[in-house]
Amino acid sequence: MELFIKSLSMKGFSKHKQEAVYEFKRNNEIWGENEEGKSTIGDAIAWGFLNSDLNGVERSISHLKNLSSKYTIVKINYSIDDKEYELIRRSGYANDNGLFVDGTKTTTEKLLAEQFNCDKDLFLCLLNPNYFFLFTPKKSKEFLNKYLKKIPKSEIMKEFSDYEIEILTKEKFNFNNPNISLAEKRDDISELEKDLIYTDGMIDSINLSSINNPTENKLKDETKLKNQIIKLKSAIESILSENLHTDTNINEDEDVKGKKKLEIEIARTEAEKFIDTDQEKLNKLTNEYRNIRNEYKNVPIEKPMLENINVLQNNVINLKNQYKELGNKINKINKNKTQCPKCGFLFLSTNEQILNELLNSLETIKNNGLTANHQLEEAINNNEKQKKKYIQEVNEYRKLKENEGKQISSQIGHLQQIAIKKEKAFQDNKNNKLAQLRNQISILNNKILAKQKTEKEKIIKFKQENQNKIIKLKNDLAKLESELNQIQQYNNQISTKEKLVTENKNKIARLKRKKEDTNNRISSLKLTIDIIKRFISARVKLQSNYIQKHLNKTEIIFEKISKTSGEVKDVFEIHYEDKHLNMLSNSTRIRTSIEIRNMLSIISDLNLPMLIDNAESITHFNRPNCQLFQLIVKKDQPLSIISA
């Protein structure tokens, strides 16, 4: 892909207050005295594409602007592989600031990704070869790795044995980023070395004197003292049991037993209830009386089915209304007579036949009414007869039940009087029996109290003697337990020392095993690190070979062998004809930057214009196949461009 800048229009830049338009060809020499604005043309191109100057300083363009100009604008007409574009970037305007490509607003990142497939750093390295020298060694190395051809893992691993490959696989080696694995393994070794220091400290802290000089004291026998203590405790329990037995003897006295029997008899007698032998008969009579009263209230005689006179009454009323209505109609007809004007005779204006029909209908209604009225009177009389008969039957039935109730009520009253007398006799007998029982208990209580007084005096004397025995036995027991406690403390100390010796031996053995395992792991990690270093070295050599194919007198060095340790160390140095970059003259630095720039153009397949500042310093160089801008200082020369 090749970028070719055809023209540049710029305004508001240093030395370019007014709009300046430049046409470019493949070879362009920009002449002029110092501070005439030669570099500003390159900065304007960089700002247009990247929003930065040639050194990558973004956004703030105060060092590029013409201080007397409010607006800054760049317009670039360019082509990519013969396809033409127009780029405009503005700043300082009220609206429409920013980047526009063919009239469409976009961003620097989007432009670089879509048209050049690169980032800002690569664009500037190709446009301004000196930009690469602004990187730190670390960034330079990372930048090259980003665009260098990836070396296949299989090609690198040809130099390693199966055993070494197995070690890398086991250690989960990151083939894509070996430096991460290298740092991780070094961190692991650092942590393990700290563990070793801690383990040695733990071993040193253990009291070795107890291991080297174990105690010669033996455990003392506790059995004899324990047996003596058991015998004394048994003797004390026996005396306490005797005291308890004396307390229970009084409870086994015959008088006490007799008193308990009498108390049981009193409780049983008090619980006795009066039972009436005639209660069943009384309950039966009571139920009969209750049934009679219920039958008296709810007589079991079926009420008569009375005829419904409402229908008959309504029929009579309807016939009367019809009769009255038809009569009024006939009277109205009779009143409407017409007098003959000739003879003065009164005659009906209505057809006489109609009047006769109405009179016949009136007679029929009258007869029907008389019949209906007779039926109504007959139904009323019949209902009254049935009601009187029902009331008479009910009264007779209730009279009968009333007599039966009186007889049963009399029997109930007689039985209740008998029950009252029986219950009184039962209660009197119960009270007499309870009085006799309580009297017997009172006599026994007096006898028991007298016995208890005598027995209590004996018990007090007996317990006092036993208490004296117990005190003596407890004193002897306390002495034996104190002696046993001293022996047990002594034995515990001996056991604790023996246990501590055993634990310390085991602990030291574990720590030594751990130390051995840690040393083995450190050795394994060091071997892994050596293999990783060789892997990195092999990859670097392959990458260096790939880079050197595109360089001439320039050499990029990625690693060096330490003169003191012999270890391969990561470096990043640029040499030109075996001289370090820092030792080169200005012209040689320019040639070096051009070689590196051309190498980057080849490996990225991106051919951008190249701008050489201070081009007057070099008389010859390998010209790249790209659009070239040479900035040449010439005394007293105004700004001018020669294109060919």
Q: Name the more confident of 539 and 73.
A: 73
Query: What integer is the mean pLDDT of 456-461?
Result: 79
Q: Is 459 helix (H, G, I), strand (E, B) or coil?
A: helix
Over residues 154-158, the mean pLDDT reads: 80
pLDDT, tens digit, 9 for 90 and up, residues 474-487 = 888 888 888 888 88
C-beta of residue 2 within 8 angstroms of C-beta of residue 115: no
Show me where the domains of the chain are located: 3-136+588-643, 252-514
Supply the pLDDT for residue 13: 86
In this prediction, residue 177 has a pLDDT band, given cuts at 50, 70 and 90, of confident
What single DSSP character describes residue 615? Answer: G
CA distances from 634 to 33, 40, 363, 616, 643 (A): 5, 16, 157, 8, 17
Q: What is the mean pLDDT of residues 391-406?
A: 86
Identify which of 92-101, 104-113, 238-247, 379-388 has the greatest average pLDDT: 104-113
Most confident listed range (115-124, 192-201, 299-308):
115-124
pLDDT at 473: 83
pLDDT at 277 over 80: no
**How does residue 248 score in pLDDT terms, banded at 50, 70 and 90?**
low
Please indicate whether residue 575 or residue 375 has the higher confidence score (pLDDT): 575
- Beta-bridge partner residues of 151: none
Q: How confident is the model at residue 561 (pLDDT cuts 50, 70, 90)?
A: low
Q: What is the pLDDT of residue 280?
A: 82
**609 versus 309: which is more confidently predicted?**
609
Mean pLDDT taken over the chain: 85
pLDDT in tens, 222-246: 888 888 889 888 888 888 887 776 6
Q: Is the pLDDT of residue 10 over 80?
A: yes
Q: Report the C-alpha gap between 42 and 586 in whole angstroms.
A: 20
Q: What is the pLDDT of residues 401-444, one digit of tens each?
A: 888 888 888 888 888 888 888 888 888 888 898 888 889 888 88
Q: Would the pLDDT of 625 be above 80?
A: yes
DSSP-derived letter for residue 81 is T
Give me the pLDDT at residue 564, please. Answer: 67
Q: Is the pLDDT of residue 247 over 80?
A: no
The long-range contacts involving 618-622, CB below 8 angstroms and separated by at least 24 positions, are: 618/587, 618/590, 618/591, 621/590, 621/591, 621/594, 622/552, 622/594, 622/595, 622/598
Q: What mean pLDDT is predicted for residues 381-395?
A: 87
Task: State in words which class domain 3-136+588-643 has.
Answer: alpha beta
Q: Quick count: other Cβ atoms within 10 Å of Cβ 538?
A: 17
Question: Is the pLDDT at 252 greater than 70, yes or no?
Answer: no
| Distance in angstroms (rounded) separating the CA atoms of residues 609 and 76 | 13
Backbone angles phi, psi at 308, to 5 degrees: -80, 110
More confident residue, 64 or 409: 409
What pLDDT, in 10s, does the model give residues 485-541?
888 888 888 888 888 888 888 888 898 898 899 999 899 888 888 888 888 778 778
Q: Which helix (H) or strand (E) holds 315?
A: helix 310-335
CA 186, CA 516: separation in Å to the nearest integer?
19
Least confident of 38-42, 145-149, 319-323, 638-642: 145-149
Q: Compare 528 and 65 and report the one with higher pLDDT.
A: 528
Mean pLDDT of 592-606: 93
Amino acid at position 62, single letter: S
Please report, for residues 51, 53, 350, 400, the alpha-carbon distance to residue 72 in angstroms, rounded to integers and kept in the order given.
Answer: 12, 14, 125, 136
Rounded to whole angstroms, the Cα distance separating 375 from 149 reads 133
What pLDDT band is residue 46 in, cutting at 50, 70 and 90?
very high
Q: Quote the pTM value.
A: 0.50
Question: Which of 634, 560, 605 shows the shortest CA–CA distance to 126?
Answer: 605
Would the pLDDT of 41 be above 90? yes
52-62 pLDDT per residue, tens: 999 998 855 66
Question: What pLDDT score does 221 carry?
Answer: 82
126-136 tens-digit pLDDT:
999 999 999 99
